[in-house]
Amino acid sequence: MSNFLPPAELAKAFVGVSKAKAGKGALQLLLLGILAGVFIGFAAHLATTVATGNWVVFGLKKFFIGAVFSVGLMLVIIPGSELWTGNNLMFVGLLNKDISLGQLLRNWGLVFVGNFIGSIMLAWFIAKMSGLTGGAVGGTAINIAYGKIATTVTDGASHNVMYFFRAIGCNWLVCLAVMMAVAAKDIGGKVLAIFFPIMAFVTSGFEHVIANMYFIPAGIFSKSYSGAVAASGKSLETLSALNWGSMWTDNLLIVTLGNFVGGAIFTAAVYWWLFVRDTK
């Protein structure tokens, strides 16, 4: 007996997953969304801590950051919560006419809001109240956040275009990780299924909107510590560009759109067309 679902069965399983997620109550979805935001935030803080300090080998640093960040999706999938990027796979149920557009948008809206609340709550908890970002870690948090809203334009490609395509690559891998975790029938298989795609997206430099809901607020909150600002190597005048408005206009909005394309179109729609469309 196989210890994992083959591709065709796995794709069809997401019809049932979509219906189950569409049937959850509003408060349940919101609370599960908050939990997922917190879980991704824990992983983001861990990644920020690992990124702090002098690393001789750039690629090795990126690998370890990606490796530890994978704990976020493990916490989302195994104990159970609702993550907007993973829920892009509900597009299978919409295309198969097993859930309505209204049900899909209701789930996505509540979960997205919950993810934001959980992420920013943990950012406040860690970066504003705990003191953990008062020094070198805070400098890293500031630089990560600033880099996400002020990326240098390369060869004429605009910031938004670059981040749109980085976001597509991210949620393509995230949704494949979710699919592989669902395919695995034991916890060890789920851990391994999550680890490699998540490590790959972070190490590659792709953009995840829910992770950024932690990273950017953590950087904004860390600006209140003089030690963190000094560790960042940037002036407060320069860091004025890192604010609540630029978080949305220069990152979250375009990354949300790219994540949708990578998850709902490049993953859910493709697997629906390949394995589900003729099997109502």
- Please give the Cα distance from 142 to 165 (Å, whole number): 23
The CATH code of the domain that includes 256 is 1.20.1080.10
261 found inside a domain: yes
- Please give the Cα distance from 68 to 198 (Å, whole number): 9
142 found inside a domain: yes
Residue 154: its pLDDT value, please? 58
1 found inside a domain: no
Q: For 26, how many CA atoms within 13 A lie in the half-sphere containing its CB? A: 3
Long-range Cβ contact pairs of 155-164 (< 8 A, separation 24 or more) = 159/250, 160/250, 160/254, 163/207, 163/251, 163/254, 163/255, 163/258, 164/254, 164/255, 164/257, 164/258, 164/261
Residue 158: its pLDDT value, please? 85
Q: Residue 128 pLDDT > 70, yes or no?
A: yes
- Average pLDDT on 153-181 reads 90
2 found inside a domain: no
Q: Residue 197 pLDDT > 70, yes or no?
A: yes
Q: For 229, how many CA atoms within 13 A lie in the half-sphere containing its CB? A: 13
Radius of gyration of the chain from its Cα atoms, rounded to whole angstroms: 19
Q: Residue 206 pLDDT > 60, yes or no?
A: yes
Q: Which domain holds residue 219?
A: 7-276
- The model's pLDDT over 61-110, given as tens digits with 9 standing for 90+, comes to 999 999 999 999 999 999 999 999 999 999 999 999 999 999 999 999 99
DSSP 161-208: HHHHHHHHHHHHHHHHHHHHHHHB-SHHHHHHHHHHHHHHHHHHT---
- Name the least confident of 56-65, 72-81, 121-130, 214-223: 56-65
Residue 150: its pLDDT value, please? 86
What the block records as the tokens of 84 is 């907007």
The better pLDDT of the pair 54, 9 is held by 9
44 φψ region: left (φ > 0), alpha (ψ -120 to 50), beta (else): alpha
Residue 4: its pLDDT value, please? 82
37 found inside a domain: yes
Most distant pair of Cα atoms in the chain: their distance: 63
Residue 157: its pLDDT value, please? 73
- Average pLDDT on 196-215 reads 97
Q: How many CB atoms lie within 10 A of CB 23?
A: 11
Does the pTM of the predicted model rise above 0.85? yes
Q: Residue 32 pLDDT > 80, yes or no?
A: yes
Nearest to 234 by CA among 137, 140, 171, 159: 140
188 found inside a domain: yes
- Count up the domains in the chain and report the number: 1
Q: Provide the mean pLDDT of the chain.
A: 94
The better pLDDT of the pair 4, 250 is held by 250
218 found inside a domain: yes
Q: Residue 152 pLDDT > 90, yes or no?
A: no
- Three-state DSSP class for 157? strand
The better pLDDT of the pair 252, 155 is held by 252
262 found inside a domain: yes
- Average pLDDT on 211-228 reads 97
